[in-house]
């Protein structure tokens, strides 16, 4: 995903749907995408781990022309081996194009920068794009405080990746995508102000490793708010959106797609 490409939308379905429902929703989205001239490559879908393979094979088999990407919602911080229940990044090769890492809903379950950094390094090794989520916690904080919080989080992730003997410079050139998702905006109906997102984008891109990283915004995005985020120029550019609740219905997802100009 380059900085000059048309906006990318990532539908994060979290753990909302059973796998059969995920396949059905993916089918409906693809059918609507064909009818509404969805720009090829503009949409990626992140189903649950259990629905991932079925959704990927449906989209590639029956709707390849739309180039809808498939994203995992997490992966293991470890290599393959005797680790019951884990999904190593290398096992996602050929299934997922990217992996969401460090979502606040996982950080809330105890995941820290060190673990997220290790996952980033595993994804880079596997050739899978890491989408690193960063987000401040306090709805009443100032933009300066938010910028400090997310930059700190990023440095924690970078240190975690470096602890796995990766050169920090290697991390910088590896196609990481950043998703700014303020925790107070997720699922709250109170999206961040576009000016706040621009300030955070600028602060993160002043970090040496992130100067050219694509940046997504996520948190209560809907058809009304979507167009206010994407675009911009230079270090304040926002390259796309990470969408939760509004991605669970075809209609609301396509309102966003139309608002940012990737479908009719």
Give catalytic residues, as residue numbers. 103, 181
Binding-site size for ligand 13P (CB under 6 A) equals 14
12 pairs with which residues across the strands?
A: 46
Q: Does 244 bind ligand 13P (CB under 6 A)?
A: yes
Q: Does 48 bind ligand 13P (CB under 6 A)?
A: no
> 93-112 mask for ligand 13P (x: CB under 6 A)?
----------x---------
Q: Enter the tokens of residue 131.
A: 């989408």
Q: Does 224 bind ligand 13P (CB under 6 A)?
A: no
Terminal CA-CA length for the chain: 22
Give the nearer residue to ligand 13P in terms of CB position, either 101 or 166: 101
Give the nearer residue to ligand 13P in terms of CB position, either 177 or 242: 242
Residues 6+ apart with CB under 8 A from 17: 25, 47, 48, 51, 248
Q: Chain centroid to CA 70: how far?
A: 11
Using the rule CB under 6 A, give the single segment among 36-44, 162-170, 224-232, 240-248 that binds ligand 13P: 240-248
Q: Does 242 bind ligand 13P (CB under 6 A)?
A: yes
CB atoms within 10 A of CB 166: 19
Rounded to an integer, what distance in angstroms lies between the CA atom of residue 199 and that of residue 236?
Answer: 7
Q: Does 253 bind ligand 13P (CB under 6 A)?
A: no
Question: Among residues 35, 187, 208, 249, which is the contact residue for ligand 13P, using CB under 6 A?
Answer: 187
Tell me the residue number closest to ligand 13P, measured at CB.
244
11 pairs with which residues across the strands?
A: 45, 243
Q: Does 220 bind ligand 13P (CB under 6 A)?
A: yes
Beta strands in 117-232 (DSSP E): 129-134, 177-180, 215-218
Query: Do 220 and 190 form a contact (C-beta atoms < 8 A)?
Result: yes
Secondary element (H or E) of residue 29: helix 19-35
Q: Does 243 bind ligand 13P (CB under 6 A)?
A: yes
Q: Does 12 bind ligand 13P (CB under 6 A)?
A: yes
Give the nearer residue to ligand 13P in terms of CB position, either 230 or 242: 242
Question: Among residues 74, 181, 209, 239, which is the contact residue for ligand 13P, using CB under 6 A?
Answer: 181
Q: Enter the tokens of residue 175.
A: 């196609």
Q: Enter the tokens of residue 106.
A: 């996982």
Q: Does 225 bind ligand 13P (CB under 6 A)?
A: no
User: Can you give the binding site for ligand 13P, defined by CB under 6 A?
Assistant: 12, 103, 181, 186-187, 218-221, 242-246
């Amino acid at each position: 995903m380059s900085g000059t490409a048309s906006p990318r939308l990532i539908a994060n379905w979290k753990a909302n749907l059973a796998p059969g429902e995920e396949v059905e929703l993916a089918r409906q989205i693809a059918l609507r995408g064909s009818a509404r001239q969805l720009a090829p490559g503009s949409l990626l879908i992140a189903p649950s781990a259990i629905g991932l393979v079925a959704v990927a094979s449906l989209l590639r088999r029956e709707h390849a022309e739309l180039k809808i990407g498939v994203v995992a919602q997490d992966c293991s911080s470890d290599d393959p081996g005797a680790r019951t229940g884990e999904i190593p990044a290398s096992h996602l090769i050929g299934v997922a194009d990217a992996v969401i890492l460090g979502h606040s809903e996982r950080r809330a379950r105890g995941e820290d920068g060190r673990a997220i950094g290790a996952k980033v390094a595993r994804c880079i090794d596997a050739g899978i794009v890491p989408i690193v989520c960063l987000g401040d916690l306090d709805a009443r904080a100032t933009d300066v405080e938010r910028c400090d919080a997310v930059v700190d989080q990023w440095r924690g992730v970078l240190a975690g990746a470096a602890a796995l003997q990766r050169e920090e410079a290697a991390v910088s050139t590896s196609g990481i995508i950043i998703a700014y998702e303020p925790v107070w905006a997720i699922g709250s109906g109170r999206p961040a102000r576009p000016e706040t997102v621009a300030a955070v984008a600028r602060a993160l891109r002043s970090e040496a490793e992130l100067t050219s990283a694509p940046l997504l915004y996520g948190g209560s995005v809907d058809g009304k708010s979507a167009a206010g985020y994407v675009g911009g120029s230079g270090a304040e550019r926002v390259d796309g959106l990470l969408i939760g609740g509004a991605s669970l219905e075809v209609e609301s997802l396509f309102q966003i797609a139309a608002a940012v100009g990737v479908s009719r």
